[in-house]
Structure 1
Amino acid sequence: MPDTTPAVADETLIRFARRISHDLNNFSTVVRTYSELLLSELPADSPTHADVAEIQRAAESMVQYLQRVTRFARAGSMKRVAVPVDHSVTEAVEAFARELPTRPVQVNGQTGADVHADPVWFREVLIELLRNANDAAPAGSTVAVRLARAGDAVSIVVCDPGPGFPSSLPVVGEPFVTSKNGVRGAGLGLALTNAFALALGGALAVERADGETRVGITLPLSPSGPA
């Protein structure tokens, strides 16, 4: 399967992400504020109460969306420290299990290595990969995380037995390019992952082989990591 991930981050797109995040945050703040005021004044049994509550939920979803846009725009300015890969993967899998306890996750391999990254960003990117696999995998199936180290780099690949990305999808990892619907389908999960990998001098890779979809990142070892 040919690699369909973008090679470089587009500075114009990053500026656009910063601007749209700022402007939409102002709009969502107004919606959230007034919906909260309305809910506090409406009786719980009012037919309008449910409508306003739905508006508030939509506003909260917009806030989450904007947080992801802002994170994408700030990928190049993340802090960098030595982060143990294996421990970070364990933390991400545990956090994902609390979020979606019905999805089995199996971790294969160890790297014994560190990468030079922002630990919070790293964990969130790993969780994004797990969420992406969960969205594609059939109910009850297992998502696998495969860790490997080769030379001066490590790879973290998340595999699922789902149908894979549609052939009509132009570029996997570009913002707003997605086959999903709704806020989780905004096309930002893999865009965040790609921006993170590129900022660290790594890469996002997507492959379909042996009946499974493999989405992973390759990252250079931390300069202070083990030899």
Structure 2
Amino acid sequence: MGSLRVRFGLLVGSAAALVVLAAGALVWSLYAAERTLDATLAAQVRLELIAELSGRLTEFGLAAVEAVGENPSRPERLTNARNDVDRALNAVDEGLSRAIAGSGAMLDRVQYATRSRPLSRLRAARAMLDRQVAQIQREPDPAKRTDAIRGALNAFGAVTGQPLTFLVEAERRAVEASAAEVRALTLRLRAIALAMAGLAVIVLVLVHRTLTRPLLKRIEDIRAGASAIGRGELDTRLPVPTRDELGLLVASFNRMAARLKRREARVAADRAVLEETVARATADLRAANARLEEIDRSRRRFFADVSHELRTPLTVILGECDLAARSPETPDSFRPVIATIRKRALRLHRRVGDMLRIARSESGQIELERRPVGLAGVLAEAVENCASEAQRRRIALAFHPSETDVEIQADPEWLRQVVEGLIDNALRHAAGATRVWVTLAARPGGAEVTVADDGTGFPPDADGLFERFRRGGNSSPAQGFGIGLALARWVVERHDGVIRLGSGGPGERGARVSLELPA
């Protein structure tokens, strides 16, 4: 019994034996109860047949009295009564025969012979009364016939009374015997049930003490060991008292704990190496971040310095170009060259201004001068400043104001420069565009300014265009530094507004930039 399979096999076998034994006892008890019930019912049926026989005999006696009268009303009544008596006798005889054939020990042949003799006496009494009636019917004197039939009936009653009483008493005793057997069977079944229950309790107690409790104890030890392993106590080991399946499981558990212990040691060593590597990498990253921050500060300082240094000579160049253009001494052949120089210098001046604004916005040096301003005038001025560039590019530029002007708290110069930058982006970057339009719409609590075109629209990653120095895929360095949208978002957010990029409506093409500004 060193194997759990054998133990569980014995347990299952014992349970099966108990079940088979209980089933056998149940079948036997049902069979015995059925036989006893059948015997009781048969005795009841025979009692009913004997009662019917008694009635038939009484009717036969009355028919005999009527047959010997002076004027019998129904001559056939005696024949019918005789036949009924014979059928009743045969029915009682058949009931006794079936009882001895099906009951076995409950009604043996001696009892059948004992009960058959009263039936023979009843048949003989019926035949004797029949013969006496035939003799009386031949007597011509009515008084003698009456006396003769009275004596015959008295003799008939005396002969049939004792056999009928005997048969009724015999069947009554049979019913009482069946009832007593039922009570005895009930007592036996009760005793058997108590014995089976006691046996089942004993078997369960033995199984619990010899199998269940030791198994539960060992399983609880394994659970406690697993909990200790889970808490990190990898030195936990369990005893192996047996070599059954559970013992093999405990041995596997111990081997697992040993492997986990070795693996933890290796992991600890690897963690130490990793922490050292991470520390070195962190130090390198910090140094790199410091260098990047220094480079970024140098870049912002460079942009600010370069922008500041370039604005003065560009302003001088623009002033000299204006003086030369207005001077009558300037030859006409030089005027187109001066105009070209002025246009290029003006564009470079705008780029330098963008760089300077970006540098100042990154360093937080910009201070907005917010005051009440009408948006329609600011937008009209921005469209007018960009009209010449739109005309040069042969792109229609239009402004669609709202029905009523919208007044907001804003810095008009910065708003104008933002709108000019958005228009300039549309003119330069909208491939295939034929028109650009600026729309002002009043909204509850503010206004919405939209700069739209009918070009190819924004690329899929349009939100990345808000990053500094980010240009569209088709842009070239000659088309700008990629700082317009970044500056626009910075200015709009400082005005507590929101800037969004979108596309045209359903079935339309082009790009759309919306500025939502609070009143």
TM over 0.5: yes
Distance 2:434 2:356 in 1: 33
- SS of 2:466's equivalent in the other structure is coil
- SS of 1:100's equivalent in the other structure is helix
Could you say which residue in structure 1 is the equivalent of 2:358?
Answer: 72
Could you say which residue in structure 1 is the equivalent of 2:424?
Answer: 131
Shift of 1:118: 1.7
Could you say which residue in structure 1 is the equivalent of 2:301?
Answer: 19
Distance 1:117 1:15, change over 3 A: farther
- SS of 1:154's equivalent in the other structure is strand
Residue identity matched to 1:199: R
- SS of 1:67's equivalent in the other structure is helix
Match of 2:390 among 81, 84, 100: 100
Q: Which structure features the higher share of strand residues? A: 1
Shift of 1:120: 1.4
Could you say which residue in structure 2 is the equivalent of 1:119?
Answer: 412
Tell whether 2:460 aligns with 1:174. no
- SS of 2:458's equivalent in the other structure is coil
Distance 1:94 1:58, change over 3 A: closer
Matched-pair identity in %: 27
1:136/1:163 contact within 8 Å kept: no
Match of 2:489 among 183, 194, 206: 194
The answer to which of 193-202 and 182-191 deviates more is 182-191
Distance 2:297 2:450 in 1: 30
Residue identity matched to 1:190: L
TM-score (norm 1): 0.68
Match of 2:442 among 149, 153, 160: 149
Distance 1:124 1:104 in 2: 20
Shift of 1:71: 1.3
Distance 1:59 1:105 in 2: 23
How many residue pairs end up in the alignment? 184
Could you say which residue in structure 1 is the equivalent of 2:136?
Answer: none
1:167-204 CA deviation, whole Å, 9 max, x = no partner?
25561222111112125331111112111101111111
Shift of 1:108: 2.3
- SS of 1:171's equivalent in the other structure is helix
2:462/2:501 contact within 8 Å kept: no
Could you say which residue in structure 2 is the equivalent of 1:44?
Answer: none
Distance 1:23 1:79 in 2: 24
Could you say which residue in structure 2 is the equivalent of 1:220?
Answer: 518
Distance 1:167 1:157 in 2: 20
1:25/1:63 contact within 8 Å kept: no
Consecutive aligned runs of 4 or more in structure 1 exceeding 3 Å deviation: 14-18, 23-29, 57-66, 73-76, 136-140
2:373/2:409 contact within 8 Å kept: yes
2:304/2:355 contact within 8 Å kept: no
Runs of 5+ consecutive residues of structure 2 not aligned to the other structure: 1-292, 315-342
1:178/1:187 contact within 8 Å kept: yes
Runs of 5+ consecutive residues of structure 1 not aligned to the other structure: 1-11, 33-56, 222-227
TM-score (norm 2): 0.32
Residue identity matched to 2:356: T
Distance 1:94 1:26 in 2: 27
Residue identity matched to 1:108: H
Residue identity matched to 1:205: R
Could you say which residue in structure 1 is the equivalent of 2:50?
Answer: none
Distance 2:346 2:386 in 1: 21
Distance 1:24 1:145, change over 3 A: same
- SS of 2:387's equivalent in the other structure is helix
2:428/2:479 contact within 8 Å kept: no
The answer to which of 61-70 and 139-148 deviates more is 61-70
Match of 2:479 among 154, 160, 184: 184
2:386/2:423 contact within 8 Å kept: yes
Q: Which structure features the higher share of helix residues? A: 2
2:469/2:483 contact within 8 Å kept: yes
1:7-47 CA deviation, whole Å, 9 max, x = no partner?
xxxxx9x9777424234448869x99xxxxxxxxxxxxxxx
Distance 1:27 1:67 in 2: 11
Shift of 1:140: 6.7
Shift of 1:159: 0.7
**1:14-93 correspondence to structure 2 within 5 Å:** 18-25=300-307, 64-75=350-361, 76-93=366-383
Root mean square deviation, CA, Å: 3.2
Larger Rg: 2
Distance 1:108 1:28, change over 3 A: closer
Residue identity matched to 2:496: G
Distance 1:170 1:162, change over 3 A: same
The answer to which of 205-214 and 135-144 deviates more is 135-144
Distance 1:97 1:59, change over 3 A: closer
